[in-house]
Structure 1
């Protein structure tokens, strides 16, 4: 039974799931849902995901939505070890991941930003200002929370965790929108370690950017 990921190359939520699939060494087929062309609102995609979002993952005979829920499924079924066994420590790692995936990402969603910027005289500048306004504080909070962990070399220690998988797509967005992160050394330590990992390299949006 094949595994199929319905995603968009620049979607942060899709990026998270691609990282996890590569980490778990699950072969998968990508089906592009072009957000800019409105394909996520087409009837065929709404049948997959009533919210009209990506990603959607068909795996093990199941159709799954919501990236964090998908990550939980992969962690539970593939023994990925993305969370510590200790419940309190696992909660701290989840909280770190949620700082960007739950608090920053939703307000920087394409549909939200388009709505917020639609009345601005310069929509492109308004979009950039919006992204910087929300991404920078979220990453600064992530940096502060990292102080409770040892980045040796990953966010929470020697092994990759949910926090790494959620951080890296947000850093990609930060670079895209020219968010200043020069004073966040812990985050940059983590980013360097993740960049050297084959699973993160294979999942990177630049590997999937459409031609033209």
Structure 2
């Protein structure tokens, strides 16, 4: 009997977690094998012992834990540079990183589940007020991202090149979040055009929430 292959990478996440989806897309774009571990399948307290902050996702590399999606993406890009997620041109690389940071650093932290729960349970905000909060910050971020694509040197089919990469894997999950909260995406034709090119691709399909084993169906 042949020994079972060693799984070097384990991704701890859940089906509806846009930060985890970013990492899944990156792993798929780089054709890296990994084991997906739904955190709901773990015993109480197990995930907190792996990642004391308790946020998703976390990547185990031969048992060593990397938390925070941006740190995970940087690790993957540094250790598996081909195919690259970032453009070769230094300015475009910085612009792609900045695009991703608008989502990962500016928007996501103030619109995620724990912030919305705090607004309702601790500050007494009504659901309509929380939805208005969400859409306000989403619109500000999407306006900036749409403008950044309008200012590109070339009208590439993807955010910053002829193939999807760093910026695109941040964009697609975030637009899905926007739709969940009934945000109007009509003012953002460049963003939605890039999304439409990404979504049919295998790397994005396999990373989608509905393709995960813990998707409720």
Number of paired residues? Answer: 207
Moved over 4 A (4+): none
Counterpart in 2 of 1:23?
A: 29
Tell me if the contact between 1:12 and 1:170 (Cα under 8 Å) persists in the aligned partners.
yes
Q: Over residues 58-104 of structure 1, what are the superposed CA-to-partner deviations in whole Å (9 max), with x where a residue is unaligned?
A: 12553211101111111122223111233332111111111111100
Q: Which shifted more, 53-62 or 6-15?
A: 53-62
Counterpart in 1 of 2:164?
A: 160
Counterpart in 2 of 1:178?
A: 182
State the Cα distance separating 1:55 from its structure 2 match.
0.6
The 1:32–1:126 alpha-carbon spacing in structure 2 relative to 1, beyond 3 Å, is: farther
Structure 1 residue ranges without an equivalent (≥5)? none
Larger gyration radius, structure 1 or structure 2: 2
User: TM (normalized to structure 2)?
Assistant: 0.87
User: TM (normalized to structure 1)?
Assistant: 0.89
Counterpart in 2 of 1:92?
A: 95
Counterpart in 2 of 1:211?
A: 216
Distance of 1:156 and 1:121 partners within structure 2: 39
Structure 2 residue ranges without an equivalent (≥5)? 1-5
Counterpart in 1 of 2:3?
A: none
Tell me if the contact between 1:153 and 1:190 (Cα under 8 Å) persists in the aligned partners.
yes
Q: Over residues 169-197 of structure 1, what are the superposed CA-to-partner deviations in whole Å (9 max), with x where a residue is unaligned?
A: 11010010011111111101100110121
Counterpart in 2 of 1:109?
A: 112
Tell me if the contact between 1:155 and 1:163 (Cα under 8 Å) persists in the aligned partners.
yes
State the Cα distance separating 1:151 from its structure 2 match.
4.1
